[in-house]
Structure 1
Amino acid sequence: MHEQNNPVDIGKDQIAKYKEPVEELFTSYRFGGKTQSLPELMLKLDPDEQYVMSNVERDTYLAIREGMQVFQGISELLSDKIGLKQKLIATPSSELTGNQEIDRLRGFCHDYATYGASLYVSKKMDALIRAEGVETSEKKADLSDLPLSLDSSQPEKAVIRRLLAPIYAYLLKQAETRKQFESSLAFAVIVKDVFDKYAALALEQKDAYPDLDRHLSGYQFRIMDEFVVLEGYEDKSISAAPAAAQALTFQPIRPEEIVGNRHAKKKISRYVERLVLYDFQRQMNPILELGGLAWTSLYDGLPGTGKSSLFRLAMTLLQERSAQVSVPFTIFTVDQSIKDEYYGKTGKILLQRLSVTQNPAMLSLGILDDIDLLTSSRNDAQGADNDINNILMQYLDGVFTLRRGNVINFAASNKPTGLDDALRNRFNDRLLIDGPTTAEDFADIMLILGGKLFKNNLVRIEKGYDPFATQVSGKEEKSSGSDVAAYMAEEFQKYKGATLLDFGRFVAELKEKNPKITGRSSRAIMEAIKERSADFDLPREWFENRSLYFDQPFETKVQKLIELYEPITPDILFQEAQRYFDSEERFAKTEAEGHVTRGYNSLMWDVQAQIQYYQEQLDQGTQADFARLEALKSLMRDMLRQKEDTIKKALQF
């Protein structure tokens, strides 16, 4: 087998040799006194197509076959490990029946093999059913008349026949009754429930062999490229369930409970409501026809400025709005928990987290918190960080990225310069989160933190203002007024009569100043322009009465939205291009400041080390360069005095 603590691979290469024996068993199975063939029985599931399996039927057949191959793979490994194979060879066939020691060793091997194989088949069926947009909990199978039992002390083939018995019984009964299926997934559900039951029966035996448990301890069984991962009887598999089924728990929060960040709160509210506009029949969001719904949004701010609270607000609003119009949603997170000690597994965990966004029958909200801690720049990234960078870049804007308008991704960073440039540029919408800034903000914070102390009048101080009144933007307030600095609005008035070519020249000039302005930058600029046009809140009555919007045809929905958009004047194009350029410059300046500060501090430490070296020589009476020591001390004093000026000069570019 493998050395202690090493993974044990049960993959396609390891189980390939069992394919023919398993298929031979499938096609020569004795049931009810007759020879039955599993593929032939499955072909009869659909009376209209008795010579061709559907995709669902084919995938179900392959899952069962691979499950039985996995059974044999695990069984043979354990048989070698505990000495069962040697005992079977050494024991005369006449003495095998009733041999308690051999029966016990068989039971250990076959129970564990049954558990691993059954989990594999069950999870494959679960993934198959979910891929069709159906929750497995919505389907119930009646197993009351199917023969479900285990006798693991029997020879290997006999145990496999016992595992397959309920499958053949169901198919034969179906062939006799010719009853029409309610769903094409009916047989897949039966198979899943059968092997769920077998896994439960095998799990009941986990404490039946205390003297043999050591042969499982310390090993990790990786079944079919880690589709199932077992450590003993503990399932360490990456969950295939979508995030909605993973029951993320969070504390709901209201906008007025988040102090400051008014523009960010308004943006989040609009984004979430526009996400819910998604048309499930057309599998497209009508708002994408004109724009105004970000695919990615990066929040940049110091720790404690409220980024996590803003994410909670997004989750709260999505939960409320989805409930109002009765649409399904999922929330998934990408954080430090995806990193795994085993090479390659981090990428698989991340892919699984992101896979929920491929379901067109579900709204998805992604939270990528502290993304600067999750990834590194390409120059610094190693191993798992490289995997994370590559996967996120392909997911956010890659060859196969498909935007239907049913997904939005929020990310937060305390240090956006820690991100790879290409990854950061995939976040079209960026917002600086500054937290509380006004007198009312800090007063509101004290009321929130003080809680019941204020409510019970244990803090006796006059408020002097209307608490929380400033924390929610008024409905009549337009975001463009607070979103664009006054100097910029005045500066770009001169472009009101400009042409599109003038705009192209302007961006080309920006590119000369910063080569990082690319085609992807143009997309980000256009997304910002679309958002300026979409400067509106959705009518409340749309959510209160489905018939006004959600039950309308797709084209009608688009027309209703068009009426809410505002025209864009030429100066707005120039404003948004300049804002994007300023954002890139801010990132570059922050990054440069970090490099200069680190370099300057390193130089200071070097001088300090030399001072200490010469001082110790002098103190010990050792010959030392006294003049050199005094010169270094003088240099250190000058460096400390001029540190800030040096950094400022270095940053002037």
Structure 2
Amino acid sequence: MTVSNDLMELKEEKILEKYPLAEAMLEGFDHTPRIAAKREPDRVLERSPGIGSRRRFRSTTPGLLTRTTARPEGVQLANRVLESDDDALTTPLQASVLRALRRALSVAQVTSDQFAEQSGLSDLKRSNLAGTLDASRKKNFQDLLSASALISLHVFANMTDFLLAGLATDAGETEVQSGEVEEILLDNDQLALHGALWELDQEIAAAGVSTDHDLIGVVTSFCEQLMEKVTLRAEGSVHLKPFTDANYRVEADDFEITGFTPAARARSTTLTMAFKKPEEVVGNHIAKYQAMKLSKMLMAYDFERKLNPFAELGGFIFTFMGDGKPGTGKTTLIQMMAGMINDYCSNAGYAFRYQNLSTESIDSYQGKSAQNAKAFIRTVTDPNVIGFGTIDDIDQLAGKRGDRQSSAGQLEITAVLMESFAGANTVVRGNCTFGMFSNYPENVDDALRQRAGARFLVDGPQTREDYIDILHLLMGKNHSIPVGDHELFEAQAIKKAVAASYEQHSRPKEDALIKVFDRIHAQIGDMDTIAKLGTYLKAIQEADERFTGRAIKNITDAVKVRAMDFELPDEWMEEPDLFLFKNYDTKKSMIAELAKPITIEMVIQEINRYADSEFRYADKSDEVAIENAVREMQRMEEAKRRYVEASRP
């Protein structure tokens, strides 16, 4: 995993040179739409008698429109913004919107120029103007022009959204939103920006904007949609590599361009879920302990380096699978983890984004389900936030390949998740984690399930003490029933409970795995060397062919997590200056000092823990398949009996 930390500064003088052209585009230009249709306004704004609408100077740029020569296809976005309310004077927010648009247009053009120089597009443009561009290079020329157009559109939308992010918060909530963005033209960067500005002008008019915060709501909504569509268009383009491999910075605005990642998404989501405290999670000791550790691990992420020391040292959990029977506490575990991260981020002033991928993401339109899944992944993996993504009931959401009952939308989501969690382009920065939860993990596609680096068995309360604790907890305080002979929550002491839970995995639990373990132990004795452990792993693979190299990677990752078997001290979370606000190298050294050596017991326990889960899933899957086959045979027998009876004279 490599993360580029070099930022190429976009020179301020270059940006200022583009101001006249940006202002000219805002003043007016001709554009005939190719894709989108002209929209009619939802409501027409009436002005008071005698109040003029012209509040800006006339452009003297040749070929550009002014108010006196306007035609139906003309675009005068500056006037549209200034006419968005009944005030005769320009409001501060209107001025801010125009300045943001001008700044974003200028930066987009400078970035496009940088790309042209780096990719060779500038030379091709000069050859084309001179009439010396031979036919063999025309295809590459057009591809690079399209790539430049995508870059210009995304940088323009990204920076506009970034500059207006604070204004959107100050202006308050609004229900006025932009319609679907359609006029995305990729002939060249200039035409692309013209199409975007034309459609933004149409959206402001159609929305019937009457207040400043309505105006900002439409503009930011438009920019977010434009970024999303451009990002989808950009996927898989090899011509964009010079842009995606470089990171740019505009110093005056503290604005960074990192490929097609939205900069303004550092805004947190507002969570309405009921958070749970760790003491409210009864049982599930290993799952609870790992969730608590992972919550603090995320906070070690360094926003300057865009990397987490745990991701570099080992032990970071990027994806995990939480499985258990209905009612065992999966939702409670999500509420606990989200609440802990939310509180830590609030204390440190970090942006936190939580999102759940639900069954509503499955769409009947081809490709739409994949788009929804990709948007979910992009939202959570945004390197400017701490992210936590959950996929509840993943067995219903992601289809199992080869299963005729899986819809096309479900299979699209499966493909996106597989690529995102362990694909060639997956980058683990350590700022986010994904949890997949299911009551029936055996119904999850094998390859997708194996992309879960850690397994959280959510088996709920198990012991007598667990059941007493959960009964007392859920009863509340509106009673005077004595507790009796029991020390409340003594069994939930996390360190003691986790140690006991790990110790249970010194031997396997599933019958099929126990047979393998005992047979190998009888042959080679205690498993105290890497060679003996490898022999055990090969025997497991012979018993279950799905136990592949990916399983070994997940086991070794889990062992590294055990080596980091410590919680970052609570005071580091409560007082950010002690740890969170340290530089990357300092945080890395502080974490390394807490690490523990890997032991043979850790490795055996993690092999058994992971293999137990795979054998458990396989047994359930086989049993379900057998039951379904039996039911099908019974139905066929009954159908034959009825058919014979109906055929008798």
User: What interval of TM-score do these two structures reach, taking the shorter chain for normalisation?
Assistant: 0.5 to 0.7
Indicate whether 1:607 and 2:637 are aligned.
yes
Aligned-residue offset at 1:550: 2.4
Aligned-residue offset at 1:345: 1.4
Partner AA of 2:611 in structure 1: F
Q: Is the 8 A contact 2:419 2:426 kept in 1?
A: yes
Distance 1:290 1:397 in 2: 19
- Change in Cα spacing, 1:147 to 1:259, as seen in structure 2 (3 Å) is farther
In the alignment, which residue of structure 2 is the partner of 1:281? 304
In the alignment, which residue of structure 1 is the partner of 2:360? 337
Aligned-residue offset at 1:357: 3.5
Q: Is the 8 A contact 1:347 1:387 kept in 2?
A: yes
- Change in Cα spacing, 1:161 to 1:205, as seen in structure 2 (3 Å) is closer
- Aligned alpha-carbon RMSD (Å): 4.8
Indicate whether 1:572 and 2:602 are aligned.
yes
Indicate whether 1:443 and 2:468 are aligned.
yes
In the alignment, which residue of structure 1 is the partner of 2:435? 410
Name the SS of the counterpart of 1:331 in structure 2.
strand
In the alignment, which residue of structure 1 is the partner of 2:448? 423
In the alignment, which residue of structure 1 is the partner of 2:502? 482
The within-5 A match list for 1:348-363 is 348-363=371-386
Q: Is the 8 A contact 1:480 1:532 kept in 2?
A: no
In the alignment, which residue of structure 2 is the partner of 1:549? 579
- Change in Cα spacing, 1:280 to 1:225, as seen in structure 2 (3 Å) is closer
Distance 1:278 1:225 in 2: 26
The within-5 A match list for 1:295-374 is 295-374=318-397
Name the SS of the counterpart of 1:330 in structure 2.
strand
The within-5 A match list for 1:113-262 is 155-158=71-74, 160=76, 163=79, 199-200=203-204, 202-204=206-208, 227=229, 242=265, 245-262=268-285
Q: TM-score, normalised by structure 2?
A: 0.62
- Change in Cα spacing, 1:71 to 1:295, as seen in structure 2 (3 Å) is same
In the alignment, which residue of structure 2 is the partner of 1:231? none
Aligned-residue offset at 1:412: 0.4
- Change in Cα spacing, 1:65 to 1:170, as seen in structure 2 (3 Å) is closer
Name the SS of the counterpart of 2:322 in structure 1.
strand
Aligned-residue offset at 1:362: 1.2
Q: Is the 8 A contact 1:256 1:471 kept in 2?
A: no
The within-5 A match list for 1:503-518 is 503-518=533-548
- Change in Cα spacing, 1:153 to 1:145, as seen in structure 2 (3 Å) is closer
In the alignment, which residue of structure 1 is the partner of 2:478? 456
In the alignment, which residue of structure 1 is the partner of 2:147? none
Q: Is the 8 A contact 1:255 1:265 kept in 2?
A: yes
Name the SS of the counterpart of 1:283 in structure 2.
coil
Q: Is the 8 A contact 1:351 1:391 kept in 2?
A: yes
Indicate whether 1:584 and 2:614 are aligned.
yes
- Change in Cα spacing, 1:323 to 1:62, as seen in structure 2 (3 Å) is farther
In the alignment, which residue of structure 1 is the partner of 2:122? none
Aligned-residue offset at 1:607: 3.2
In the alignment, which residue of structure 2 is the partner of 1:95? none
Q: Is the 8 A contact 1:297 1:427 kept in 2?
A: yes
Deviations 1:1-21 (A, max 9, x none): xxxxxxxxxxxxxxxxxxxxx
Partner AA of 2:467 in structure 1: F
Aligned-residue offset at 1:606: 3.1
Deviations 1:42-68 (A, max 9, x none): xxx9762279869xx99x899989998
In the alignment, which residue of structure 2 is the partner of 1:382? 407
Distance 1:65 1:611 in 2: 81
Q: Is the 8 A contact 1:265 1:310 kept in 2?
A: yes
Aligned-residue offset at 1:246: 4.5
Name the SS of the counterpart of 1:366 in structure 2.
strand
Distance 2:457 2:340 in 1: 21
Distance 2:449 2:23 in 1: 44
Deviations 1:152-172 (A, max 9, x none): 997414554775797999699
Aligned-residue offset at 1:328: 2.0
- Change in Cα spacing, 1:172 to 1:418, as seen in structure 2 (3 Å) is closer
Distance 1:253 1:464 in 2: 26
Distance 1:304 1:350 in 2: 27
Deviations 1:62-96 (A, max 9, x none): 9989998586754xx56xxxxxxxxxxxxxxxxxx
Q: Is the 8 A contact 1:368 1:412 kept in 2?
A: yes
Name the SS of the counterpart of 1:299 in structure 2.
strand
Correspondence for 1:391 among 412, 416, 431: 416
- Change in Cα spacing, 1:564 to 1:379, as seen in structure 2 (3 Å) is same
In the alignment, which residue of structure 2 is the partner of 1:529? 559
Distance 1:68 1:240 in 2: 31
Distance 2:15 2:585 in 1: 41
Correspondence for 1:272 among 251, 271, 295: 295
Distance 1:581 1:204 in 2: 60
Distance 2:42 2:639 in 1: 62
Q: Is the 8 A contact 1:291 1:531 kept in 2?
A: yes
Q: Is the 8 A contact 1:252 1:313 kept in 2?
A: yes
Correspondence for 1:594 among 624, 641, 646: 624
Q: Is the 8 A contact 2:299 2:580 kept in 1?
A: no
Distance 2:458 2:25 in 1: 49
User: Mean alpha-carbon deviation: is it higher for 365-374 or for 278-287?
Assistant: 278-287
Distance 1:402 1:63 in 2: 38
Distance 1:112 1:524 in 2: 55
Name the SS of the counterpart of 1:332 in structure 2.
strand
In the alignment, which residue of structure 2 is the partner of 1:15? none
Q: Is the 8 A contact 1:244 1:331 kept in 2?
A: no
In the alignment, which residue of structure 1 is the partner of 2:14? 49
Name the SS of the counterpart of 1:563 in structure 2.
helix
Partner AA of 1:507 in structure 2: L
Deviations 1:480-532 (A, max 9, x none): 75354354599879877744333333322322222222221121010111122
In the alignment, which residue of structure 2 is the partner of 1:559? 589
Distance 2:508 2:29 in 1: 65
Distance 1:62 1:507 in 2: 68
Q: TM-score, normalised by structure 1?
A: 0.61
- Change in Cα spacing, 1:266 to 1:49, as seen in structure 2 (3 Å) is same
Q: Is the 8 A contact 2:80 2:201 kept in 1?
A: no
Name the SS of the counterpart of 1:356 in structure 2.
helix
Aligned-residue offset at 1:445: 3.7
Name the SS of the counterpart of 2:355 in structure 1.
strand
- Change in Cα spacing, 1:496 to 1:164, as seen in structure 2 (3 Å) is farther
Q: Is the 8 A contact 2:315 2:560 kept in 1?
A: yes
Partner AA of 2:207 in structure 1: L
- Change in Cα spacing, 1:570 to 1:48, as seen in structure 2 (3 Å) is same
Aligned-residue offset at 1:561: 1.7
Aligned-residue offset at 1:379: 0.6
Q: Is the 8 A contact 1:68 1:160 kept in 2?
A: no
Sequence identity, in percent? 26
Distance 1:542 1:343 in 2: 48
Partner AA of 1:299 in structure 2: G
- Change in Cα spacing, 1:186 to 1:275, as seen in structure 2 (3 Å) is closer
Q: Is the 8 A contact 2:159 2:263 kept in 1?
A: no
- Change in Cα spacing, 1:412 to 1:165, as seen in structure 2 (3 Å) is closer
Gaps of 5+ in 2: 1-9, 46-53, 59-65, 83-94, 104-155, 168-196, 211-224, 231-261, 510-516
Q: Is the 8 A contact 2:23 2:102 kept in 1?
A: no
Distance 2:68 2:506 in 1: 79
Q: Is the 8 A contact 1:300 1:431 kept in 2?
A: yes
Name the SS of the counterpart of 1:309 in structure 2.
helix
Q: Is the 8 A contact 1:372 1:415 kept in 2?
A: yes
In the alignment, which residue of structure 1 is the partner of 2:530? 500
